[in-house]
Structure 1
């Protein structure tokens, strides 16, 4: 381990943001009455100064409540926190996950094979590419029809069983990139513990041609293993009728992805069908690893590698671009400004593209599980606001669901609008599809405009609102717009990596660890205790509410 980088990453409290001279300066600036309409009226060149681009992603943040003074203060704050040193620590494998005493090497998952990165005497790049080679071998066997089920038939359906990062990442990417699929093999995703997802799916699948991927870093997650056990029982019920054996079913119908090979073997996963994870990869950062196997099966390994290359291009931008032009740095600093200083405690992600329907859910986990923290690296309690509540939906659907609150509610909400400039470029003959795409773009730009300026967008609206207060649009809701040239595996990789690095920037300013998730552990432990009480029907010693609920369940069971 590089001890110098370890020191930079975890022992920086003397220069923490809270102690910086720029923190109180930003607090004073936040107390001003910010008006987006005034900012635009006073600065005709505002959009030019408050925009940036990296590759296929163009970012307009001119509708954020910032001016040159605020931006300079935020950039100075980043310098005072040694953000550059923290970025280097992340990318070079330092122990940035301080509570678990390890690196966070998700960026290594997309390094080219020619790169060099050794951490604690481990050749990380070689390990990663050995795993990717195994992903390629297995995916090619499945895609080519070489992989056969217990009855000798080729695989037609692949079911990814996981939860959290082992589900949301590949589900989001497979949905976004399905037009890149070049196989008839269909991939499905199951995560829900109660079995309803799996039950509905199994009724439609053929056991002889279905392959299951069990994705669990620990291979001990009850949600995932309960679904896997049900899948095995379903297969065995069919295989037994055809004189199959359990060993044959396990070998021909299950692949495991985990950091725990012993548990995979104990469950029955054949050693050749075990794909490796590492402790230094958090689940919500694991899309780029073997966790992406279902995606690789669907779109092919060349396109999966293009996804990795897109993410790596954003890593390079994050590492080398000046902070004033650095998309992840700017996006992260703006999020800190909104949440911590302007006290905007809600944030919504609004993709105006149906292919990105699962992106808000993916980012909800990425941001809130990473930065939903209230203690610093050194264990000190925080007296400032960190991660906002995040949610989102496809923009056109959201307009008919919760935009009422955005436009006329009492809550301040910051927004990210995301859209693709080009779509249906190969559908020139289909004018209707192109028309729909242009309508979607128009709605994206129109909504951000009304959120920013309210009644001032149209004089006629202003006049009407003077007489009818129910039609008043207050405006002044800050937003950032991200325009992607077109949605490809490469640009999707860059977009997701952009948000990963945004999370790290926020955490660096707040001096918190974004790579652990202790907040989810106690609930899991308590669930096991409650489950035992439910099974044994014995006297327990819970709170009166839990006891009453248990009694109600027992009466109806």
Structure 2
């Protein structure tokens, strides 16, 4: 990081914070069918130039190319970061998709001879959040899925009570082959199947891991699907980890999902500066964080099928960039990742939007929506949904001042009520839009966030691809259990 450039940015940010003005120049970047509108970001021309210089000083273009080339950019673990190589195709998906299609066709049978038409997916972290998101967004109902992650016994017990063991495939996902929550839940599920079926549940188990023997030792015989050691859990949605989701949406949709991500990859590798949508997303994020000294970032999705995206992004962003030291082991000279949170519009309009509209915090926001519905018959209702999204973004940014509140008072309302109706505005809002939410656009959207997260990590000088804090937490669980 160029400290001189950063100090200039900090000075500019303080000036904007002291005299913020809503609105400004229309600023839009589009790639792979995803449009980023950051017109409400308080970005000045001087700040934009400095941020672009920061991107050049950080050599973001070279960093993206190094990742795509398979260089060992995960320096603390001595590994390459190769999730990009899973798109548009890979040996993993080539092995996984035919099995997913066999499930859809009713060709995979359990120990009773009945076709398996339900999947109980057991995993945690990236082995859970990505497949669940993909299932909810793209599943067509042909194969139903339940997802269990939590070690709380109630989670697996409720899922087992709702499934028919004779027609259910258990998919256990653990990169290490030893994830305690996953192994325990899978063992409970298998024992339940043995009791319910009165025999060994042969044909009812598949597992995804880098460690076949560890999974076999813990769970017994099953269909093994490999994953690569260089694929981090939070980047594994593109891999065999998503077997359940692929069975639910079909090989064609899954391949379109990969193709959309690949299209975004190609753009990120070719474009530069503000023309690169991932770089633009990262720089706007950094600018908004500096201007408002923001400690949180909110994502609101105006799409029911994306209801799990905020939770998915929580892991992607905070596990990647929730670090306080640089790759050199020195303290990061500025706050790194803020806290990411969010939910589903329009639900949240009747919840924490009150704080966003009239509270004392300035919180950068991403509003995600599709302009058109997937089903043309939903057009009129979908237009209302989009109006909610755009109307709320305008309300948060432009506000409703005291004079306007006074003028809007009804005859029977006292003047003292006006201050209570004031909406300060000035929230920084980014709009991410696609024409329709299909598999290809979903792949591009997730890849955009991945690349923006990586770019921010490089700017901060941290390693976005390890998670030593998570590993430490696991070790303490073992100490307590052994005590």
How many residues are paired up? 478
- The 1:184–1:425 alpha-carbon spacing in structure 2 relative to 1, beyond 3 Å, is closer
Aligned to 1:541: none
* Corresponding residue for residue 305 of structure 1: 255
CA gap 1:375/1:218 in 2 versus in 1, 3 angstroms = same
The answer as to whether partners of 1:345 and 1:412 remain within 8 angstroms in 2 is no
Structure 2 residue 33 is matched with structure 1 residue 33: no
Match of 1:516, SS state, is coil
Structure number with bigger Rg: 1
Take 1:108 and 1:383, find their aligned partners in 2: how far apart are those partners? 33
Who is 1:496 aligned against?
A: 446
Post-superposition offset of 1:36: 9.1
Q: Secondary structure at the match of 1:148?
A: coil
Paired residue for 1:162, among 123, 138, 143?
Answer: 123
The higher relative CO (CA closer than 8 Å, separation ≥ 6) is in 2
Asked if 1:109 corresponds to 2:93, the answer is: no
8 Å contact 1:110–1:308 — kept in the other structure?
Answer: yes
Q: Is the 8 A contact 1:310 1:492 kept in 2?
A: yes
SS at match of 1:257: strand
Instruction: Check the 8 A contact 1:36/1:63 in 2, yes or no.
Output: no
Contact 2:207 2:224 in 1 (8 A): yes
> How far apart are residue 76 of structure 1 and its match?
0.4
2:374 & 2:93 partners in 1: Cα distance?
Answer: 32
Which one of the candidate residues 226, 230, 234 is aligned to 1:280? 230
**8 Å Cα contact 2:401/2:422 also seen in 1:** no
Q: Is the 8 A contact 1:161 1:227 kept in 2?
A: yes
> Residue 17 of structure 2 contacts residue 291 of structure 2 at CA under 8 Å; is this kept in 1?
no
> Is this contact kept in 2: 1:148–1:154, CA < 8 A?
yes
Q: What is the CA–CA distance in structure 2 between the aligned matches of 1:393 and 1:520, rounded to whole Å?
A: 24
Matching of residue 84 in structure 1 with residue 61 in structure 2: yes
Assess if the C-alpha contact under 8 Å between 1:57 and 1:495 holds in 2: yes
Matched residue SS, 1:62: strand
Question: Aligned-pair distance for 1:425?
Answer: 3.7
Alignment deviations for residues 440-459 of structure 1 (CA, whole Å, 9 cap, x no partner): 11111111111111115993
CA offsets 1:275-321 (integer angstroms, 9 cap, x no match): 11111100000000001111110111111010000000000111111
Match of 2:460 in 1: 510
1:434 Cα deviation from its structure 2 partner: 3.0
Q: CA RMSD in A?
A: 1.9
Following TM superposition, by how much is the alpha carbon of 1:20 offset from its aligned partner in structure 2, in angstroms?
3.8
Q: Is the 8 A contact 2:399 2:424 kept in 1?
A: yes
Give 1:435 shift.
2.9
Residue in structure 2 matching 1:139, options 94, 100, 120: 100
For each residue in 1:259-278, what CA deviation from the matched residue of structure 2 results, as whole angstroms up to 9, or x when unmatched? 1112022134546x111111
Tell me the alpha carbon deviations over residues 146-170 of structure 1, each in whole angstroms, 9 at most, x when there is no partner: 2111111110211110001000001
* 8 Å contact kept, 1:56–1:486: no
Match of 2:50 in 1: 73
Contact 1:215–1:224 (CA<8 Å) still a contact in 2? yes
1:388-427 equivalences in 2 (<5 Å)? 388-427=338-377
TM-score scaled by length of structure 1:
0.83
CA distance in 2, matches of 1:236, 1:282: 33
What residue ranges of structure 1 are gaps of 5+ in the alignment? 1-16, 113-127, 428-432, 534-557
Who is 1:115 aligned against? none
CA contact (8 A) 1:339 1:386 kept: no
Equivalent-residue separation in structure 1 for 2:403 and 2:193 (angstroms): 62
Query: 1:262 corresponds to which residue?
Result: 213
